[in-house]
Amino acid sequence: MPEKPMIGSRVPVEWKDELERIARQSGRNSSQVVHEAIATYLGKESAHTLANQVKDLSARMVLLEQQIQGFRMLMGK
């Protein structure tokens, strides 16, 4: 059995259109949006969820801000 098996579902055309719109607007593909929706529904953490991506980016920003502050101190500003 594949490590990540494929599942599928038939949905109304309106859902597909909305899914594709969300994917375009968020810079992701439809599979990533569906994966996030399923993870959210099941209460699972996933590296692909937008919430986890935001959390990771926030942590990186904190580190960058600390580095910038360190550089400013070195430059005497």
Considering its fold, how many domains does the chain have in total? 1
For the stretch 5-18, pLDDT in tens is: 999 999 999 999 99
- Is the CB of residue 34 less than 8 Å from the CB of residue 16? no
Would you state the pLDDT for residue 39? 85
Q: How far apart are CA 33 and CA 22, in angstroms?
A: 8
Looking at residue 48, the DSSP 8-state letter turns out to be T
Q: Is-above-0.85 flag for pTM? A: no
For the stretch 7-66, pLDDT in tens is: 999 999 999 999 999 999 988 899 988 988 888 888 887 666 667 778 878 888 999 999
Element (H, E) at 63: helix 50-75
The single residue listed with the structure tokens 């990186």 is 60
Would you state the pLDDT for residue 32? 87
Question: Please, what sign has the CA dihedral across residues 62, 67, 72, 73?
Answer: positive
Average the pLDDT over 64-69 and give the result.
92
Structural domain span for residue 48: 13-75
